[in-house]
Amino acid sequence: MKKFYISTAIDYVNSFPHAGHALEKIQADVVARYHRFLGEKVFFLTGTDENSLKNVQSAEREGIPVKKMVDQNAKKFYQLKNTLNLSFDDFIRTTEGRHIKGAQKLWKMCKKDIYKKNYKGLYCVGCEEFYKENELKNGLCPEHKKKLEIVEEENYFFKLSQYQNQLKEIIEKDKVKIIPESRKNEILNFIEQGLEDICISRSIQRAKGWGIPVLEDPSQIQWCWFDALSNYITALNYDKDGKKFQEFWQENKNKLHIVGKGINRFHSLYWSAMLLSAKLSLPNTIFVHGYLTSNGQKMSKSLGNVIDPFKLVEKYGTDAVRYFLLREIPPTEDGDFTYEKFEQRYNSDLASGIGNFVARVNTMANKLKIKKLKIDLKFKIKNLKLKNKIRETKNSYRKNLENFKFNEALKVIWELVGFCDKYIEQEKPWEGKENSEKVLSDLSFAIDNIADLLEPFLPQTSKNIKKRKVPLFPRLR
């Protein structure tokens, strides 16, 4: 059986999740469900990044122990599984024993490329990264729009510079394929400027005793990105060189990371170099999505412009939230969230679109006393144009999904719904003509096909359509 491994980035737990986190998890869920539908053995991973200094600072502000804060916030991130109907197979927390042991093992495997030196630089706690002066925007962190602090101490460094030529070749030749092309070019341009070695530890004093210790040096804590990136293999029992690790990582040619544009460099360069150093298999694809914005600004806890996904689902329903984020937000670009846009999409596409179409066919079948339009495997659709439209839709849908064009895949499904609406108007089955049952059988066949196509995107709606449960989406007032 073909294997498929997919992961999201793991999230900081200095606060509760927002709709930007939901976007990435839903995108990954669609891909995972699609590959299961293809009959592949899928391992879908997500989780939380709990060893960051920003988590320590948040706990201090709240006046509670760090462990208590990360536990309560990690629980909230896990609850997205039910709220968003996510199908992940594992949820890794970087405070778990399996992760700590795996991260320390990876450090040991990279030991030949690790050395210690004194260093002074500009550090962003939000990014957990050192920046050079020319990388700042107006003297501020390009991600968090805040001043950086000057940090000077003795730390361990990883010889990233040693892998410059190898990384360039790997990315140029798509051995690690970065999607979209613009993000690939961004990484290649960064390599062209010359890679410098990266700091991969911090003093236990600056880390305030929180994080994964460097085994041979109790004065140092692993840089949270070094330990965080290793989650993709620690969740597969890398610490024990387990069967899952061999099956889904080492021997698997279908490994996908889905990450936001702000952490492309960490995955495309740092993570790839760490794997090269440890002589481990590389990921095959890194899909880089844009940000969910609010009034044109990145949705961020630090900026205070977040949308609560739990409240959003409570008000509109899980599949309505999934639909908006997948249809309205361009997969590789930033997309703005407003309640006005949300409700407009809901009423036009869900209530008046798919909801109205399924209810309409169901009502006509009931009126004409066609108790159940059951489609079996031997059924041949009568209308050739409708048959061709369904085939074209499936082909376009598959191409779009394989290129992570979630919005375009949904668009072609809704074009099929529109085609069916026109077919109803042309044939007028409500008049009870001789061919009415045939027309409604054709439409029922189309509805079942639409339900199959919707399953990765709107899993509960797909089930409801197959059971002809209406209304699917009551219109918002």
- Distance (Å, whole) CA 315 – CA 74: 23
- Distance (Å, whole) CA 366 – CA 359: 10
Active-site hit among 41, 144, 145, 469:
144
What are the phi and psi torsion angles at 419 (to 5°)? -65, -40
- Distance (Å, whole) CA 408 – CA 410: 5
Residue 429 DSSP label: G
- Distance (Å, whole) CA 272 – CA 168: 11
Active-site hit among 99, 255, 261, 301:
301
The answer for residues whose C-beta is within 8 angstroms of residue 56's C-beta and 6 or more apart is 66, 207, 208, 210
Q: Residue 298 catalytic?
A: yes
Active-site hit among 25, 184, 267, 298:
298
- Distance (Å, whole) CA 212 – CA 223: 8
Q: What is the dihedral of CA 220, 225, 226, 232, to 10 degrees?
A: 140
| Angle between the N-to-C axes of helices 406-427 and 356-367, in degrees from 0 to 180, rounded to the nearest 10 | 30
Cα atoms found within 13 Å of the Cα of residue 196, Cβ hemisphere only: 7
Residue 268 DSSP label: I
The amino acid at residue 408 is E
- Distance (Å, whole) CA 198 – CA 127: 14
Q: How far is CA 44 from the centre of its chain?
A: 10
- Distance (Å, whole) CA 225 – CA 200: 8
Active-site hit among 54, 110, 141, 267:
141
What six digits make up the tokens of 257? 């990371």
| DSSP reduced 3-state for 468 | coil
Q: Residue 144 catalytic?
A: yes
Active-site hit among 124, 199, 224, 420:
124
Active-site hit among 25, 105, 110, 127:
127
Active-site hit among 21, 25, 105, 289:
21
Q: Residue 224 catalytic?
A: no
Residue 194 DSSP label: -
Q: Residue 127 catalytic?
A: yes
DSSP string, 216-228: TEEEEEE-HHHHH
- Distance (Å, whole) CA 369 – CA 372: 9
Q: Cite the active site residues.
A: 18, 21, 124, 127, 141, 144, 298, 301
